[in-house]
Amino acid sequence: MEPDNPLLDDFVLELTGRARPRVCFLPTATSNVATYLSTFYPAFARRAEADHLDLFARDGRDVRAFLLAQDVVYVGGGNTANMLAIWRLHGLDAILRECWRGGVVLAGLSAGAICWFGHGVTDSFGPDLAPFDGGLGLLAGSFCPHYDGEAIRRPRFHELIRNGLPAGWAADDGAALHFSGTDLAEAVSSRPTARAYRVELRDGDVAETPLPTRYLGG
């Protein structure tokens, strides 16, 4: 989202502990793969062994072996529901779970962040935002991206939690949640004012708790 601000990308690469990590980009959530790749490679190719996996143009490689050999799997944004349906058709849901258990850093933005949770808020079915319960479930609860970037996101997330969506997490554009296993390690940001939040139902009403968020440029 921020081609001139690599702070979050740098943070993801640093989590690997490698000088030049292997990074695979999954553009499955978008129908415009070429445009996405034109931003991914300039962002990562200078600092990592960058590659991508396009499930619409299979090249015969062993997908499981390829993904397990990566240090980072980075998932792009787009249509969350479509992406997960395609992953399941190709067996990527099981492979990504295996990557997670094997210590591969799993990261992404928008749809690429929602997918790791069991539930979320999505525009996959239209602009009004709908609850989504088809995530991989590596992380419990729900997730809402673009918390400050789209005016409808915060009130809609609150409404859905009030109506039964599991409690979860939210992140402003430029903020990220770092989980180690299933435990939240910290919230970080590429912008001084970006924040992450815990959002849950308490005594019948929605409570939003800002998380301590470390600005990566500080």
Domains of the chain and CATH, by start: 1-115 (3.40.50.880), 141-218 (no CATH)
The pTM is what? 0.95
Q: Please say whether the beta carbons of 204 and 195 come within 8 A.
A: no
31 is catalytic: no
Rounded distance, CA 216 to CA 218, Å? 6
Strands 183-189 and 175-180 turn out to be antiparallel
d(CA 163, CA 157): 10
- Rounded CA separation 180/103 (Å): 10
Residues 178, 184: contact at Cβ < 8 Å?
yes
DSSP 24: E
Does residue 90 carry a catalytic annotation?
A: no
Query: Among residues 119, 124, 142, 146, which one is catalytic?
Result: 146
Name the catalytic one among 110, 142, 189, 190: 110
Calculate mean pLDDT across residues 160-179: 97
**What is the band of 2 on the pLDDT scale with cuts at 50, 70, 90?**
confident
Contacts of residue 183, defined as CB under 8 A and 6 or more positions apart, other chains included, come to none
Kindly state the percentage of the chain with pLDDT values over 70: 100
pLDDT band per the 50, 70, 90 thresholds, residue 189: very high
- Of 39, 131, 31, give the one whose Cα is nearest residue 78: 31
pLDDT (average), residues 88-114: 97
The per-residue pLDDT of the chain, averaged, comes to: 95
pLDDT of residue 4: 86
Q: What is the pLDDT of residues 8-65, one digit of tens each?
A: 999 999 999 999 999 999 999 998 788 889 989 999 999 999 999 999 888 888 999 9
- Ramachandran region of residue 190, left (φ > 0), alpha (ψ -120 to 50) or beta? alpha
Q: Do the Cβ atoms of 120 and 142 come closer than 8 Å?
A: yes
Task: Kindly state the average pLDDT of the residues 97-106.
Answer: 98
> Quick check: 58 and 94 in contact, CB under 8 A?
no
Residue 1 is predicted with a pLDDT of 74
Handedness of CA 213, 207, 122, 101 (dihedral sign): positive
Q: What are phi and psi of 26, to 5 degrees?
A: -110, 105
**Cα(1)–Cα(166) distance, integer angstroms:** 27
Stretch 195-209: mean pLDDT, rounded?
96
Distances (CA, A) of 168 to 57, 120, 206: 35, 8, 11
